[in-house]
Amino acid sequence: MSRTPNIGFVSLGCPKALVDSERILTQLRAEGYGIVPDYAGADLVVVNTCGFIDAAEAESLEAIGEAVADNGRVIVTGCLGGKAGKIRELHPAVLAVTGPHAYEEVMARVHEHLPPPAEPYTQLLPPGGLKLTPRHYAYLKISEGCNHHCSFCIIPSLRGDLDSRPAGEVLTEAENLVSAGVRELLVVSQDTSAYGVDKRYPMSFWGGRPVKTRLTELARELGRLDAWVRLHYIYPYPHVDELIPLMAEGLILPYLDIPLQHASLPVLKAMKRPAATDNTLKRIEAWRRDCPDITLRSTFIVGFPGETGAQFEELLDFLRAAQLDRVGAFAYSPVEGAAANALPDPVPEAVKQERLARFMEVQGEISAARLQAKIGRELRVLVDEVDQEGAIARSAADAPEIDGLVFVDTTDARPGEFLDVRITDASEHDLWAELLG
């Protein structure tokens, strides 16, 4: 009997890239290839890269170099694949380079350089396919690409224009994941709220009934499954308001991840982002009125080219008014190929870092106060892991990897289990709780 060929795999970048990796790994395993955790035991290595910012590009190039040095037979895919010339210049030994979400091409290159196994995998794969996340949560990618051309971003050049998956296909995948034990579905794409607009919201079929390929309708159907549904990367279109009643009803988690980026009108225009800050504050007020438990997360860029001291102060004023629950912030850094590189009046690096520190100080106080207000409340949490000190869990307000944690005083729990708890203490980022009942 011939030996099963083995493949090593490196997955870098955002959750969207992680979903691509899971799909490639599922296909490799279905065809009978072995998946190994090290270079030494691999007949070939696939590196799924990120190229969104310069630091991510450097990390990807380093990972490619390490795989080439330790194994020698490497196929590169992912966002950095759009810069094949740079990859081959630095690492001429790579066997092949493909772009992002090029599943069939990756498989073709694997077949070209590594004979297919004599027999396919004989055991049943999980209904949702192979996963790189813990068993109890999974990323559900509903579209590829983006139709926006923000001046600081190169995603459209890396991943192309918006291409939405049919609602029926997404819902079938979600149902399979839940059947395989997933308790939380994290809905992701480059622009989640634009879902279906590229196809003019066609009808699809799932469960014997028609479903429009549109975010509100998709979210409502996902909410019928036995799992938490969390929405990420929600561009603030007007129809986002339609999601709030679904959150208030408990169909989907009361959690909105909206990348606002800034609050000053001139800076937002330079970024080519929506620029109605006053309207945003009114909508936040309305969302909280209609769904008091809603958690609002956002990301911001400080030190964007041309940002003045007064415009930065305007951003801080917005933070104080909005009282967002979770916030990530970055000092602007140039990205090769981004239009923002040509903008005048770059902000000195020292000023960027000083502004970033001030921004995080203001938001830290806001986050701490909002978490302190939860002391005494009863919440449902989802356990991620259990160690000798207790259970490490997350509430509806906490997405994995990017938000806070809830530490529960029990070791009698399992990952993927829901617990009802009472909050007893809080820090700037995390909560502590006791088990109810």
CATH 3.40.50.12160 at 6-113, yes or no: yes
Helix (H) or strand (E) holding 394: strand 390-395
Burial 89-113 (b: 16+ CB within 10 A, else e): eebeebbbbbbbbbeebbbebbeee
Q: How far apart are CA 175 and CA 268, in angstroms?
A: 39
Please check whether the two domains, 137-373 and 377-435, share a CATH topology: no
- For residues 270 and 309, is the Cβ–Cβ distance under 8 A? no
Which tokens go with 265? Answer: 């009108």
Distance CA 280, CA 260 (A): 9
- Each domain of the chain, given as residue ranges in start order, spans 6-113, 137-373, 377-435
Q: pLDDT of the chain along its 437 residues, tens only?
A: 367 899 999 998 888 888 889 999 989 988 899 999 889 899 999 999 987 777 888 899 999 999 999 999 999 998 888 788 899 999 999 999 998 878 889 999 999 999 888 776 656 566 666 778 889 999 999 999 888 889 988 888 878 889 999 999 999 999 999 998 999 999 999 999 999 999 888 898 888 889 999 999 999 999 999 999 999 999 888 899 999 999 999 999 999 999 999 999 999 999 998 766 668 999 999 999 999 999 999 999 999 999 999 999 999 999 999 999 999 999 998 888 889 989 999 999 999 999 999 999 999 999 999 999 999 999 999 999 999 999 999 999 999 999 999 999 999 999 999 999 999 999 989 999 999 97
Give the HSE-up count for residue 387: Cα atoms under 13 Å, Cβ half-sphere: 4
Query: Is 291 labelled as part of a ligand binding site?
Result: no
Amino acid at 142: I
74: left (phi over 0), alpha (psi -120 to 50) or beta: beta
Task: List C-alpha distances in Å: 173 to 23, 26, 255, 369.
Answer: 12, 13, 22, 39
CATH node for 137-373: 3.80.30.20
Cβ-contact 390, 407 below 8 angstroms: yes
Sign (positive or negative) of CA dihedral 117, 119, 123, 127: positive
Tell me whether residue 14 is annotated as binding: yes
Cα–Cα distance, 309 to 323 (Å, whole number) = 21
**CATH classification for the domain delimited by 377-435, as one of 2.40.50.140, 2.40.33.20, 3.40.50.720, 2.40.420.20:** 2.40.50.140
Residue 156's CB is within 10 A of a number of other CB atoms, namely 16
